[in-house]
């Protein structure tokens, strides 16, 4: 049976990748992309889908309950995939209010609207799903040798961002247990790939190298993150929507831990190799170190560590692997090369975002 999906945060990084993935693999489904188009939401991310018969875009805020409910009714939505969130830890430290508003109040607005449309109307939409996309950061920080986060790991959020996501996770759980809303939740590790807004580590380093700007590394760069190519994340969500048990949580990870400094150095070396092999890159990006034959590593700049910087995140994805057959298709090496390819080919996308 075909679905009618409402995808929140659909013009953001992961949301846009999911919309592209879903429309390619499920062309018979209707996708309603919903986004407030804040600084990290870019309608250009969805340009190639505009005008397609099974795609529509709604420019609105998830905190606008009447608009959310009206959208659910207008498009007879049976599936919500909820990406919309403020997600940058640094911004949550300097301005936490927006994170509480979007991540907590906004999620509650969606849940209320979904409950009203699916469980309180006539007829009741019995076959429905509210899938909530969360983060590994709700689990807190791991020591270097500690086991990776499982779905049973207790919540210990350490930043306003992760605390707001933890609160939204609990609201989703509560709407299932209290009202019977058919929900699933996924907690993912750090994503990277196309359409990644250039404030996060990997796209920031790529675009800064191409502009000859410093590559800021917090502290000594020894913090560890687990990395997941964004299309692998989309496939994991697809499996949860198709086969996941109602009311359950699935961790989606890449089994791929890297120290921050090692990632920056790998990006530098890969970019240096590309400039050495392709003379046209020096003409396109004359400010890049590779254009003058120097190394991008010269741009690495160590900066004061982030307040409350979590030491390590790592996802144990054995549950989704054993129960739903999930496995990442991209290694970090292949995914990083695909990401570099995309940014080199899409200068017209990222340059306007940087001023």
Give the residue numbers annotated as catalytic, written as ranges: 136-137, 161
Best CA proximity match to 160, nearest among 306, 34, 62, 36 = 306
| Straight-line distance from the first to the last Cα atom of the chain, in angstroms, rounded to the nearest whole number | 45
Output the six-digit token pair for 14.
């992961």
Name beta bridge partners: 56: 32
Q: Cβ–Cβ contacts within 10 Å for residue 304, how many?
A: 8
> Rounded distance, CA 110 to CA 64, Å?
9
Q: Across the beta sheet with 257-259, what order do the strands follow? A: 190-192, 224-229, 257-259
- The DSSP bridge pattern shows strands 224-229 and 257-259 to be antiparallel
Q: How far apart are CA 183 and CA 39, in angstroms?
A: 29
| HEC-encoded secondary structure of 19-65 | HHHHHHHCCCCEEEEEECCCCCCCHHHHHHHCCCCCEEEEECCCCCH
What strands lie across the sheet with 55-59, from one edge to the other? Answer: 55-59, 30-35, 4-8, 79-82, 129-135, 183-188, 249-252
Tracing tokens 């018979």 back to the chain, one arrives at 28
Q: Calculate the alpha carbon distances from 19 to 13, 15, 86, 291 in Å.
A: 10, 6, 19, 36
Q: Residue with structure tokens 């590790």?
A: 189
Q: What is the C-alpha to C-alpha distance for residues 289 and 99, in angstroms, rounded to an integer?
A: 37
φ, ψ of residue 131 in degrees (nearest 5): -105, 125
Angle, helix 332-345 to helix 260-277, in steps of 10 degrees: 50
């Amino acid at each position: 049976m075909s679905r009618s999906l409402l995808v929140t945060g659909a013009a953001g990084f992961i949301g846009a990748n999911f919309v592209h993935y879903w429309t390619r693999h499920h062309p018979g489904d209707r996708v309603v992309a919903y986004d407030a188009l804040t600084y990290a939401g870019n309608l250009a991310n969805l340009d190639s889908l505009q005008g397609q018969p099974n795609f529509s875009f709604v420019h609105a805020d998830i905190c606008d309950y009447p608009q959310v409910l009206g959208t659910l009714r207008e498009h007879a939505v049976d599936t919500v995939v909820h990406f919309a969130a403020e997600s940058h830890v640094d911004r949550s430290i300097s301005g936490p209010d927006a994170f509480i508003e979007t991540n907590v109040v906004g999620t509650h607005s969606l849940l209320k609207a979904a409950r009203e449309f699916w469980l309180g109307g006539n007829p009741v939409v019995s076959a429905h799903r509210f899938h909530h996309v969360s983060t590994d950061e709700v689990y807190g920080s791991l020591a270097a040798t500690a086991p990776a986060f499982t779905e049973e790991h207790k919540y210990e959020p350490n930043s306003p961002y992760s605390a707001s996501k933890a609160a939204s996770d609990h609201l989703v759980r509560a709407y299932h247990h209290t009202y019977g809303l058919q929900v699933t939740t996924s907690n993912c590790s750090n994503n990277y790939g196309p359409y990644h807004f250039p404030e996060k580590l990997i796209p920031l380093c790529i675009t800064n190298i191409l502009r000859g700007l410093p590559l800021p590394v917090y502290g000594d760069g020894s913090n560890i993150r687990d990395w997941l190519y964004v299309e692998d994340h989309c496939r994991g969500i697809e499996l949860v929507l198709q086969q996941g048990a109602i009311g359950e949580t699935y961790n989606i990870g890449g089994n791929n831990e890297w120290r921050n400094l090692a990632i920056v150095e790998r990006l530098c070396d890969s970019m240096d190799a590309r400039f050495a092999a392709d003379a046209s890159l020096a003409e396109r990006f004359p400010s890049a170190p590779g254009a003058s034959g120097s190394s991008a590593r010269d741009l690495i700049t160590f900066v004061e560590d982030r307040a409350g910087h979590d030491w390590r995140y790592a996802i144990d994805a054995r549950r989704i692997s054993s129960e739903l057959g999930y496995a990442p298709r991209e290694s970090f090496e292949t995914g990083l090369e695909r990401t570099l390819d995309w940014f080199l080919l899409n200068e017209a996308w990222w340059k306007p975002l940087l001023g």
